[in-house]
A and B are shown apart, each in its own frame.
Chain A
Amino acid sequence: MQVENQGSFALMAGKKQTKSLTVTLKVVRIVLSYAALVLAALFSLLPFIWMVSTSLKPAGEVLSASPVLLPANPTLSNYVTIADAFPIWRILFNSLFVAVLITLAQLLFSAMAAFAFARIPFRGSGLLFVLYLATLMIPSQVTITPLFILMTGLGWVNTYQGLILPGAFSAFGVFLLRQSFLSFPKEYEEAANLDGATYWTVFRRLVLPLSGPALATLTVLSFMSAWNSFLWPLFVTRDAEIMTLPVALATLQGRWTTQWNLVMAGAVLAVLPIITLYLFAQRYFVQGMTAGGLKG
């Protein structure tokens, strides 16, 4: 009896020791994990901090052999200078206008097409959808030359329609929304039928209101890719009056090769709106990017 007792005491003590050991190991692991995460976060953040800091420095402070993170005499004059040299409000308006219209077109036309694919049975539906998916494999560089020739022929170079229309239609939006529209039961249309409703009513009153998250995801992805888009706007715009922000930014560096305070002020203007949007709508950015594996 006694022996047994002693044995169980020893066992308990041993257990306690391993337990405290695992606790210590766990703490060490957490501390190390945080250290690594903070290091990685610094790697991500420091360039942004440097960007903002440079944009607030007067010209004299920018080119110093030992860089200072915080400007000694912070100033907004760099922003004023680029506003003088460029029609900056016009360019910001262009970027916003083009991105909003592309997003609206993507939403409306993709939602309607996705509704047809998901909710209305018709012959050739499956084949047509496969063809839609196939277009996703073609890199955009393939179409850019003929598109440019088309725009030249139509006289749409340097116009808003030239900037907007080629970005307004994509199979990706249809693909994303179709998935969501398929998830509703068939009974919707049957019930609607009894009420004498049309497909339009089903689309407007049932499917769209219930697809909030999918529509939000498409909204943020379309807006982001239109706002950041560079290659196509670079080709189809000539004058500052019609340029979007990324294109104007690229010409900015040609003008002031060494005036980094001005260039960084421009970069802040390009990055700030989209990061703000991202921080407010994180969930939809994350969902969209994981679902589509699509980058801006």
Chain B
Amino acid sequence: MALVSNKVGEKPWTRRLWVAFFLGPHLLGMLAFLVIPILASLVLSYAEWDLLTPARWVGLDNYAALLSSPDFWDALKHTFYFIVGYLPLVLVLGLGLALLMNQKLRGRIIFRAIFFMPVVSAWVAVALLWKWLLNPRYGLVNWLLSLVGIEGPGWIFDPNWAMPSIILASVWKDLGFVMLLLLAGLQAISTDYYEAASLDGAAGWRMLRSITIPLLSPTIFFVVVISLVNSFQVFDQVYVMTAGGPAGSSQVLVGEIVNNAFRYSRFGYASAMSWVLFALIFLVTLVQLWLQKRTVHYQ
């Protein structure tokens, strides 16, 4: 640094050196561990390579194979099943909780701390915990159900209940996160609206429908986008709770990618599948941006 006369706002070339100094390390890291792998993955998706034999170009074969693979379509179906079960549940419960928390009540900070504990916990620990809670014979959940006279299902051991088990654990973990985002949105709504509405005689349900929900819609949209993007990438809890089973009944897209890459060493095929995943996420984002323009109300 002593070589350059390095006063702030110096000649352009010294400034360029400063840019290189500040930005260089991060840019190199991004290139090495993010940008080049992204490009490599794109190239790889047109090849077949198991790391042992030389790579072979196969053009669009990987994509074609994928579209005709029942495993891929099953994984896609299960991913959508997860989203359809998880998203409305976490949104409605999160909104209810946010509305409760948006009142001037004592002890709110303690409640917030409690609701947020699952959010910061590692998924692996949470998934193991739920696997134990949902144990058909000795688990807490089926015991609680038996208290009210319900015979609990086999949960993760039953192909029909494996995905609902994963959804239940996911809602438990993410509820505090969704509540927090919606609460931030609620607190941004000016009280003027509520005062004006109550002068007009609105209250309760009508206030919620005509004032709160429309004014909260940008936040709700934000939460939906984030949750959808995360849901498409659901993996940790599935891997730990069911490993995609029983009988493949809960295998999801990322699980398929992982299996193909690390179990079957089909790196090209796995890369192609990861780009399909990206395309899906990208598509959802575009659709939502388009919908947002049409339906979201801003204050």
Contact surface of A with B, Cβ cutoff 8 Å: 30, 33-34, 36-37, 40-41, 43-48, 50-51, 54, 62-67, 109-110, 112-113, 115-117, 120-122, 132, 135, 137-150, 152, 165-166, 168-171, 174, 189-190, 192-193, 196-200, 202-203, 224, 227-228, 230-231, 235, 245-247, 249-250, 253, 260, 263-264, 266-267, 270-271, 274-275, 277-279, 282, 285-286, 289-290, 293, 295-296
Total interface residues on B, CB under 8 Å, equals: 95
**Residue contact A289 to B267, C-beta cutoff 8 Å:** no
Contacts of B277 in A (CB 8 A): 139, 141-142
**Distance (whole angstroms) from the CB of B40 to the closest CB of chain A:** 4
**Residue contact B19 to A116, C-beta cutoff 8 Å:** yes
**Distance (whole angstroms) from the CB of A257 to the closest CB of chain B:** 10
With contacts A138-B278, A139-B274, A193-B9 taken as known, whether A267 is within 8 angstroms of B129 at the C-beta atoms is: yes
7 contacts between A and B (CB under 8 A): A40-B115, A197-B8, A198-B8, A260-B135, A270-B122, A289-B180, A290-B180
**Residue contact B121 to A113, C-beta cutoff 8 Å:** no
Residue of B nearest to A186 (CB): B9
Residue of A nearest to B39 (CB): A146
Contact surface of B with A, Cβ cutoff 8 Å: 1, 6-9, 15-16, 18-19, 21-23, 25-27, 29-30, 32-38, 40-41, 44, 51, 96-97, 100-101, 103, 105, 111-126, 128-133, 135, 137-138, 140, 143, 172, 174-177, 180-181, 184, 222-223, 226, 229-230, 232-233, 235-236, 239-240, 254, 257-258, 261-262, 267, 270-271, 274-275, 277-278, 281-282, 285
Q: What's the dominant secondary structure at chain A's contact region?
A: helix
- CA A109 to CA B222, docked complex, whole Å: 29
**Distance (whole angstroms) from the CB of B122 to the closest CB of chain A:** 4
**Residue contact B120 to A278, C-beta cutoff 8 Å:** yes
**Distance (whole angstroms) from the CB of A224 to the closest CB of chain B:** 6
**Residue contact A37 to B33, C-beta cutoff 8 Å:** no
Contacts of A144 in B (CB 8 A): 257, 261, 274
Contacts of B229 in A (CB 8 A): 139
Contacts of A200 in B (CB 8 A): 1, 6, 21
**Residue contact B120 to A285, C-beta cutoff 8 Å:** yes
Residue of A nearest to B25 (CB): A109
Contacts of B114 in A (CB 8 A): 41, 44-45
With contacts A274-B120, A293-B181 taken as known, whether A169 is within 8 angstroms of B33 at the C-beta atoms is: yes
Residue of B nearest to A227 (CB): B122
- CA A82 to CA B97, docked complex, whole Å: 38
- CA A142 to CA B41, docked complex, whole Å: 7
**Residue contact A190 to B124, C-beta cutoff 8 Å:** no
**Residue contact A293 to B222, C-beta cutoff 8 Å:** yes
Contacts of B174 in A (CB 8 A): 295
The 4 closest A-B CB pairs, nearest first, are A169-B29, A113-B26, A146-B40, A116-B22
- CA A139 to CA B233, docked complex, whole Å: 8
**Residue contact B19 to A122, C-beta cutoff 8 Å:** yes
Q: What's the dominant secondary structure at chain B's contact region?
A: helix
**Residue contact A289 to B177, C-beta cutoff 8 Å:** yes
**Residue contact A249 to B125, C-beta cutoff 8 Å:** yes
**Residue contact A148 to B261, C-beta cutoff 8 Å:** yes
- CA A169 to CA B27, docked complex, whole Å: 9
- CA A264 to CA B230, docked complex, whole Å: 27
**Distance (whole angstroms) from the CB of B38 to the closest CB of chain A:** 6
- CA A278 to CA B172, docked complex, whole Å: 18
**Residue contact B172 to A230, C-beta cutoff 8 Å:** no
**Residue contact B121 to A142, C-beta cutoff 8 Å:** no
Instruction: Name the contact of B132 in the complex, choosing from A120, A196, A263, A275 (C-beta under 8 A).
Output: A263
Most buried by A among B22, B262, B270: B22
**Residue contact B8 to A274, C-beta cutoff 8 Å:** no
Contacts of B181 in A (CB 8 A): 289-290, 293
- CA A117 to CA B23, docked complex, whole Å: 8
- CA A142 to CA B137, docked complex, whole Å: 40
**Residue contact B240 to A253, C-beta cutoff 8 Å:** yes
**Residue contact B19 to A169, C-beta cutoff 8 Å:** no
**Residue contact B278 to A51, C-beta cutoff 8 Å:** no
